[in-house]
Structure 1
Amino acid sequence: MRITGLFAGKPQPFGPRKAPSSIIKELHESLRINEDGAQEDEQGNKKLHGGPQMALHQYAQKSYIALQNAFPKTAYLMSIGSIGENISAPDMDESNVYIGDVYKMGEVELQVSSPRAPCSKINHRYGQKKIDTFVLEQGICGWYFRVLKNGVLHHDDEISLLARNANPVSVRTLMFMTKPPAGRHFTDEELAHAAITPGLAPEWQQKLQRLLR
């Protein structure tokens, strides 16, 4: 696997309230990565985005096809990079990427920390309601990385999996635990196992603990 897209942006007025957001990003040939993310990237709301547990965001390329099929009127807006991700690569998605996975991308090492919970900014980005609900229900949310080794990411850098947990929990499964699809039920044992999955961000550990209680 190789990186086929790198994206970064700066806060700008966005949405009906003109609140600062960096969901609109530009294509870059390289990004300088440290523990807080890409130096070329900046979050509009640092209380909800960014920081070591959400340093970088990746979105599955095939999820754009699902979005385009579900929302044909705005399909022309749904190009790779438009949902606010930093990294794009083929063949990686929420079903085959697992919490705690460690990936080497070029000279950088990243660990999957959590799903990206969708918000209403996705609706504003594409000018249509309920896209965030569709993303949640389908589990096509993308995922966040924490940075284990700093460096520079380049377009076309090779991606390799360095480590994976025993009995891993996929990004999609974890997302579904917070809002199970119709007919899907998670046992307390499954929730407890996910809550202690090595590499899971503390915020998500707490979410699962609340579900258990």
Structure 2
Amino acid sequence: MTNLPVLSLRVGAVAPLGPNGVLSGIDKSEVSVPLQLSEAGFVGDMQGDTVRHGGPEKTVHHYPFDHYAFWTGEFGEQPILANPGAFGENIATLGLTEEEAAIGDVFRLGSAVIEISQGRQPCWKLNERFAQKDMARKVQETGRTGWYYRVIEPGTVVPGDHLSLLERRSPEWTLARIWSTFYVNTLDRSELTAIAGLSRLASGWRAHAAKRLESGTVEDWTRRLQGIQG
């Protein structure tokens, strides 16, 4: 994971998605020119729902191309899985997954510096993207979610640049470990307490853990995963 070539660098404008024409930026296109990356994201990259997508803790979305073979095994050969971009990612690599990547891992990407801030919470837009009614739930259940970065130092990213590890601030807190607490061992109070106090984790996810501790219950995922009120 120390020096990985970026297989694809992608941005997208918003466009209607699904039968209701909900605006989304999930359909991103590969770029062949240098891109500026700021705390607000890549130039030219847009989100349809700026409340749940984008922002300083979800500036760059990374999805491992390592997972594409699994999804091809699930659904068969499909054009959407032939190349990176199926999951709305900004960057794709081989050789780094949620099992190794951890909150607070700092990388150089081109001349920018970025830090892993949180995993992805899959939503119903993946169902529309893949024409699979339970795709978001499958992504959540498998832990093949991808993750987000915050930008520490803005810079320029050129297609073909490398993702180079600079520092590991909390290597024990892999994305897989946090996923396990949020979606498998959902009321593990010891883990939830530690997650709520994990300083490099996005504030929304820390608050999420704290709310579970306080309520002693797991939130309803129906609306996020299916796009309907649970």
TM-score (norm 1): 0.92
Separation in 2 of the partners of 1:135 and 1:36?
26
Structure 1 75/149 Cα, relative in aligned 2: closer, same or farther at 3 Å? same
Q: Could you tell me which runs of 5 or more consecutive residues in structure 2 were left unpaired when the two chains were aligned.
A: 215-230
Question: Deviations for 1:105-162, whole angstroms, at most 9, x for unmatched residues?
Answer: 1211001110110011111011112111110011111001000010111122122211
Which residue number corresponds to residue 13 of structure 1?
16
Matched, 1:75 2:84: no
Q: Sequence identity of aligned pairs in percent?
A: 30
Separation in 2 of the partners of 1:22 and 1:158?
24
* Matches for 1:26-175 after TM superposition, within 5 Å: 26-29=29-32, 30-72=34-76, 75-78=78-81, 79-166=83-170, 168-175=172-179
Query: Residue 159 of structure 1 aligns to which amino acid in structure 2?
Result: L
Separation in 2 of the partners of 1:94 and 1:35?
23
3-state SS, counterpart of residue 16 of structure 1: coil
Moved over 3 A (4+): 184-187
Query: Residue 98 of structure 1 aligns to which amino acid in structure 2?
Result: A
TM-score (norm 2): 0.86
Q: Could you tell me which runs of 5 or more consecutive residues in structure 1 were left unpaired when the two chains were aligned.
A: none
Alignment length, in residue pairs?
209
For the aligned residue pairs, the C-alpha RMSD in angstroms reads: 1.6
Separation in 2 of the partners of 1:167 and 1:67?
27
Separation in 2 of the partners of 1:100 and 1:186?
24
C-alpha deviation, 1:31, in angstroms: 2.2
Q: Is the 8 A contact 1:94 1:170 kept in 2?
A: yes
Separation in 2 of the partners of 1:185 and 1:205?
14
Which residue number corresponds to residue 194 of structure 1?
195
Query: Residue 163 of structure 2 aligns to which amino acid in structure 1?
Result: I
Q: Is the 8 A contact 2:126 2:135 kept in 1?
A: yes
